């Protein structure tokens, strides 16, 4: 390194050059379909000692309540009021 060139100037030249090179390698990998894959952890083993639960993921049963005609009319009026943007 020449003596009249400060260290920070060299750092200001080398760092951008390294970053440009890294971006070029990354873009070339993306463009040409090179795969830089990350190693993933293996799946945890299935525990055979625990029994499977039937119907898992189905959720609770849906409840249904029969409304009276007055309640239906009140609900319809509420929906109309909210639908008008008030």
| Residue 37 banded pLDDT, cuts 50, 70, 90 | low
DSSP codes, 9-63: HHHHHHHHHHHHHHHHHHHHHHHTT---PPP-PPPPPP-SSSPPPTTTTS-SPPP
CA-based torsion, 75, 80, 82, 83: positive or negative: positive
Q: Which of 5-9, 30-34, 78-82 has the highest mean pLDDT?
A: 78-82
Query: H or E segment at 7?
Result: helix 7-31
pTM of the predicted model, to two decimals? Answer: 0.34
Q: Please compute the mean of the pLDDT values over residues 34-45 and round it to a whole number.
A: 68
**Residues 33 and 42: beta-carbon distance below 8 Å:** no
Per-residue pLDDT of 43-82, as tens digits, reads 777 777 777 666 656 667 778 889 999 999 999 999 999 9
């Amino acid at each position: 390194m020449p003596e009249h060139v400060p260290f920070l100037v060299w750092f200001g030249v080398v760092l951008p050059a390294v970053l440009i090179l890294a971006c070029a390698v990354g873009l070339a990998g993306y463009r040409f379909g090179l795969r830089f894959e990350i190693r993933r952890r293996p799946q945890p083993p299935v525990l055979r000692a625990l029994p499977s639960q039937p119907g898992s993921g189905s959720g609770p049963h849906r409840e249904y309540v029969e409304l009276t005609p007055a309640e239906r009319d009140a609900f319809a009026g509420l929906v109309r009021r909210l639908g008008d943007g008030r």
